[in-house]
Structure 1
Amino acid sequence: MTTHFITAEVDLKENPLKFKKDVEARLNEEGEPLRWAVTEVDKETQKAHVEAIVTK
């Protein structure tokens, strides 16, 4: 098992109540998320930038 630092963009235009599930689904594509944080929100494109640590 190894850990990896990844970044991802998640669309904010979708239902805000689904945001956590959308982030976790995106991170699960890369591995099992250990922790994640929203580090930036781009108001113009309505995207959140997420940084995470995942295990593979």
Structure 2
Amino acid sequence: MIIESIEIELDITGGLGALDREIETTLQKWGEPLRWAITAVDRETNIAQIEAIVIKE
């Protein structure tokens, strides 16, 4: 098991309704999300900066 810290950018123009599911699904590409946080949002481009800890098998 490997624990890794990653940062991603995510387009949030679709709204905030299902944002948590979208973040979790996107993070699955790198491993199982242990925790994540939205650390910044650019309101002009609707891009959110996400920092996460994922577990890789």
Identify the TM-score tier after normalising by the shorter chain. Answer: over 0.9
Gapped runs of 5+ residues in structure 1? none
Paired residue total? 56
When normalised by structure 1's length, the TM-score is 0.93
Instruction: Give the structure with the larger helix fraction.
Output: 1
Percent identity for Structure 1 against Structure 2: 43
Instruction: Indicate whether 1:29 and 2:29 are aligned.
Output: yes
CA contact (8 A) 1:8 1:26 kept: no
- Give me the whole-angstrom Cα distance separating, in 1, the residues matched to 2:44 and 2:15: 17
Unmatched segments (≥5 aa) in structure 2: none
Return structure 1 stretches of 4+ with deviation > 4 angstroms. none
Instruction: Give the structure-2-normalised TM-score.
Output: 0.92
Question: Given the alignment of the two structures, is residue 48 of structure 1 paired with residue 56 of structure 2, yes or no?
Answer: no
CA RMSD of aligned residues (A): 0.8
